[in-house]
Structure formats: C-alpha cells, structure tokens
Chain A
Amino acid sequence: KNEVEQSPQNLTAQEGEFITINCSYSVGISALHWLQQHPGGGIVSLFMLSSGKKKHGRLIATINIQEKHSSLHITASHPRDSAVYICAALFQGAQKLVFGQGTRLTINP
C-alpha cells in the first residue's frame, strides 16, 4: 500500500533553532515533494526531488532512496517559518500524489 508518514506532527521551537521534519514512505517513488501551508490555507511548493539534496535559502531537503526517507531542514528558524509542512510522494507507476498528514511548526520569538 502506498503510504506516507511524517514526524513529528507538531513541533515548537525558539527562533534561531535548527529544525528537522521527517517523511517516510512505503515503496519506491518517482518524486518526493515538500509543501508549505500558511495559516490562511494557501499551499506553496518548496521542493521536488528524486535523489540527493536541494537547497533554497535557509531550507534544505534531502532524500535517501534506499531508506525510503526524506528530511526537510530549516536553518536559523524565524517566526515567519511557522506553518504546516507537508510531504507528498508520487509512487512509481502512479498518477496521483499521496500526502502525509503534515507537521505543524511554530517558531517562537
């Protein structure tokens, strides 16, 4: 069965801390997406990756294909990073994304 699990479900940290959000999936994938959902509900795509590592500003996404695991890291976290972070997998042979349940991140000043 195609499944995606995220951890933790909720994460609270102080401004400046290094943040890690984890995503595990059940079987082989074509691509893994990281999305950010703002408090108003809008969703933006942060990364799409199928191997290795990608970096954009303070955000870093990594994926380990053998371990079926991806991580999203935020360096020097800031209160404006507070949002729900969602990973989604496109499993091999599938046409639809399967979404994790999201990680609610709160960064306190």
Chain B
Amino acid sequence: DGGITQSPKYLFRKEGQNVTLSCEQNLNHDAMYWYRQDPGQGLRLIYYSQIVNDFQKGDIAEGYSVSREKKESFPLTVTSAQKNPTAFYLCASSIIRDYNEQFFGPGTRLTVL
C-alpha cells in the first residue's frame, strides 16, 4: 500500500537534546513538507523540499533542520535551539503541480520534558 509513514507516534525528550523525526513516503512524490500543529492553531510550515538535495525554509524554520538525500525520505531534526519544541508534527507529500494536493502522515507527538 502506498502512503506516508512517520515514526515514532509519541516521542519524549529531555530539554537540550536534539531529536530527529522520521518521514518516509512510497508515493513517488517529488515534494515533501513538515508542519507543526499547536492547540487552537492552524498548521504552520517548517520546511519543504521539491527535489532531492534541495529544501526551503517555511514560516517557522528557526530551531529546525532537514535533509533530503533520498526522494522517499525527509527527516526533521528538532534542535536544542527550538525554544518551544513540544508540539504535534505532521509530514506531507505531493506531486508538484498547480493544485498541490497533499497527502499527510499520521504525525508524531513530541513532548520535551
């Protein structure tokens, strides 16, 4: 079955530690995205990538880093520089075309203690 997987579903880390969230897709999509969701707020774009080895900052990139070494994979690292990392993180992918219909993974809930 084609789809997007994110792991783990729940993640706990101590303050000051970097943590990497996994996102894999087998839909053969060129574009991949990372979003952050906080209670009562809309999804906010962290980073996106439209091609392997290239990515762009979204609206809230500070404190995060990404890589896109393979078309299928777009891991997100939450660094210790991110002031308020506890949130729900969603990965998505899409074909690059006018309408940008995105398919979402199940999400990872990160809690920093």
Residues of A within 8 A of B (CB): 4, 9, 30-31, 33, 35, 40-45, 48, 50, 86, 88, 90, 95-97, 99-102
Contacts and interface: CB of A to CB of B under 8 A. Distances in A.
Chain B binding surface SS class: loop
Contacts of B40: 9, 101
B72 to A, nearest CB: 20
A30 B98 contact: yes
20 contacts: A30-B98, A30-B99, A33-B101, A40-B106, A41-B107, A42-B105, A44-B104, A45-B102, A45-B103, A45-B104, A90-B98, A95-B48, A96-B48, A97-B45, A99-B42, A99-B43, A100-B42, A101-B41, A101-B42, A102-B42
Interface string B79-108: 000000000101010000011111111110
Nearest to B58: A96
Contacts of A99: 42-44
Contact count band on B:
20 to 34
A90 B42 contact: no
A86 B107 contact: no
Nearest to A104: B40
Contacts of B88: 41
Interface of B: 40-45, 48, 50, 58, 88, 90, 92, 98-107, 109
Contacts of A33: 101-102
A48 to B, nearest CB: 5
Contacts of B58: 96
Nearest to B106: A42
Nearest to B101: A48
A86 B48 contact: no
Nearest to A98: B42
Contact of B98 (A31, A40, A41, A88): A31
A94 B63 CA distance: 24
A90 B100 contact: yes
